[in-house]
Amino acid sequence: MRDYSRRGMLGLGVGAAAALSVAGCSPSGSSESGKVAAKPGQQKPRSKPIGDGSTAHTGKQPHQPSAPEKLAPGQKPPQFVVFSWDGAGEVGNGLFPRFRKLARDHNASMTFFLSGLYLLPESKKRLYHPPNNPVGASDIPYLTDDHIKLTLKNLRAAWLEGHEIGTHFNGHFCGTGSGSVAHWTPAQWDSEIQQAMDFVTKWRTNTGFTDLDPLPFDYSKELVGARTPCLLGQENLLPTARKRSWRYDASSPGGLQVWPTKKQGIWDFPLQSIPFGNLPAGVLSMDYNMLYNQSQNSTKGPPANYPRWRKQAADAYIAGFQRAYETNRAPLFVGNHFEQWNGGIYMDAVEEAIKHIADEKHKDVRLVSFRQLCDWLDAQDPKVLTDLRQLGVGQKFTGRG
């Protein structure tokens, strides 16, 4: 496997894991803590089919926060935390439903960056024309029919529970050659995005499945942000994202725990450097980057090290949260994959971190999606945000609480 961690960047999807190891509010308002509450997405909303019926209009998304409040000058902001998932495929290991349940239990919304290819059967791979790569090529595996069905069921339920469905694009091409996303032009990014949207909005035609309900959203409106493969190619993606009226991008190759800014008119939400062991610069807030620092390119390091590595990973997430919560209140961004690397320790570490962050002793913490964070940021007085951006990493907020 290629080493991106040395360059401070990696954004593999669940298919990359497969390639490596096998494949508060009610619907009407916010809770006192400001966290988002959600219930299982099992209800069948009234729907109006779109296109071939792969997706449908079902009305306003359930379980969203009430209208964002506007901070007064000098008022302490909430502590936002965004947990996001690259790939967002369910391959029978139960990780997608595991974290949906965890989100329900702890009043959290999350962002799922779906790889569009995960809804395209391998038998139809020639429908995919990746820029600068052979027709049907992909650096992540196509899913089996059963796993496509599981992915569709979880995506549908996730949206009904209040989560966001973004995109991780399609074939996950990294590396240094011309086929890498690092070298794609804005027009090629546009083609990749349109194909990802087509695979989501035409899964019924492409799979022939007739026993599944449609995805309950209009993807042309739902899709407002992304994370690129391996955190590469953002500069040329942004003009296309802006043309498509996207609101944010989460593809920056590393950032600090400070308040976000915009790039080319798009909110820039980078993975952030958080404390990690004795590393002076810390580690990017993503499971793979922790793995790389613990077992390098191996997803199956010595089992004897798993307990220590698991604690180190959980401590890193928690330390990143505590540093922001107790000082500048900058939003914390965490990226993950549905993977079982090193015995699943990173999944356990994320779960421990979520439980710690959601503890009732932490007041005014909001576990939100990237889109929900955009809503809040866009509602603020620009001068208030400018003042918050003056706070460095670990610099304590001194305004009124």
| Buried/exposed 313-348: b ≥16 CB within 10 Å, e otherwise | bbbbbbebbebbbebbbbbbbbbbbbbbbbbebbbe
Does the residue 168 lie in any domain? yes
In this prediction, residues 43-66 reach a mean pLDDT of 92
Range 299-325 average pLDDT: 98
Q: Is 221 left (phi over 0), alpha (psi -120 to 50) or beta?
A: alpha
Contacts 24+ apart (CB under 8 A), 219-224: 219/55, 219/165, 222/159, 222/164, 222/165, 223/165, 223/166, 223/167, 223/197, 224/166, 224/248, 224/371, 224/374
CA distance 1 to 320: 28
Q: Which two tokens stand for residue 32?
A: 């006192």
- Report residue 400's pLDDT band, with 50, 70 and 90 as the boundaries: confident
Give the pLDDT score at 92. Answer: 97
Predicted pLDDT of residue 398: 92
* Domain harbouring 180, CATH code: 3.20.20.370
Q: Is the pLDDT of residue 36 over 60?
A: no
Question: What average pLDDT does this structure show over 173-177?
Answer: 90
Q: Quick one: pLDDT band at residue 204, thresholds 50, 70, 90?
A: very high
Whole-model pTM?
0.90
Mean of the per-residue pLDDT values of the chain: 90
Q: Which domain holds residue 219?
A: 24-40+74-389
Mean local confidence (pLDDT), 279-305: 95
Domain count, the chain: 1
Q: Is residue 396 in some structural domain?
A: no
pLDDT of residue 4: 32
Q: What is the pLDDT of residue 225?
A: 98
pLDDT of residue 175: 85
- Residue 31, pLDDT score: 34
Instruction: Give the mean model confidence (pLDDT) for residues 253-274.
Output: 96
Q: Is 140 exposed, middle or buried (0-12, 13-18, 19+ CB in 10 A)?
A: buried
Predicted confidence at residue 171, as pLDDT, reads 98
Whether residue 58 is predicted with pLDDT greater than 60 in this model: the reply is: yes
* Per-residue confidence band for 44, with pLDDT thresholds at 50, 70 and 90: low
* Confidence band, pLDDT 50/70/90 cuts, at residue 46: confident
DSSP string across 283-336: EESBHHHHHHHHHTT-SS--GGGHHHHHHHHHHHHHHHHHHHHHTT-PPEEEEE
pLDDT of residue 254: 83
State residue 235's pLDDT score.
Answer: 97
Instruction: Band the pLDDT of 255: cuts 50, 70, 90.
Output: very high
Residue bearing the bigger pLDDT, 275 or 24 = 275
Assess if residue 343 is contained within a domain: yes
Is 117 among the domain residues? yes
Q: Is the pLDDT of residue 283 over 60?
A: yes
> Residue 293: is its pLDDT beyond 80?
yes
Segment 288-316 mean pLDDT = 96
Percentage, residues of the chain above pLDDT 70 = 89
Q: Any long-range contacts for 262-266 (C-beta under 8 Å, 24+ apart)?
A: 263/234, 263/238, 264/238, 264/239, 266/238, 266/241, 266/242
Q: Dihedral through CA 102, CA 252, CA 309, CA 276, nearest 10?
A: -110
pLDDT tier, 253 (very low <50, low <70, confident <90, very high otherwise): confident
Q: How far apart are CA 294 and CA 291, in angstroms?
A: 5
Phi and psi torsions of 197, nearest 5°: -65, -40
Query: Lowest-pLDDT range, 109-113, 250-254, 338-342, 351-355?
Result: 250-254
State mean pLDDT over 309-334.
98
pLDDT at 397 over 70: yes
Q: What percentage of the chain carries pLDDT values higher than 90?
A: 86
Q: Is the pLDDT of residue 94 over 70?
A: yes
Mean per-residue pLDDT, 119-140: 98
In a domain, 282, yes or no: yes
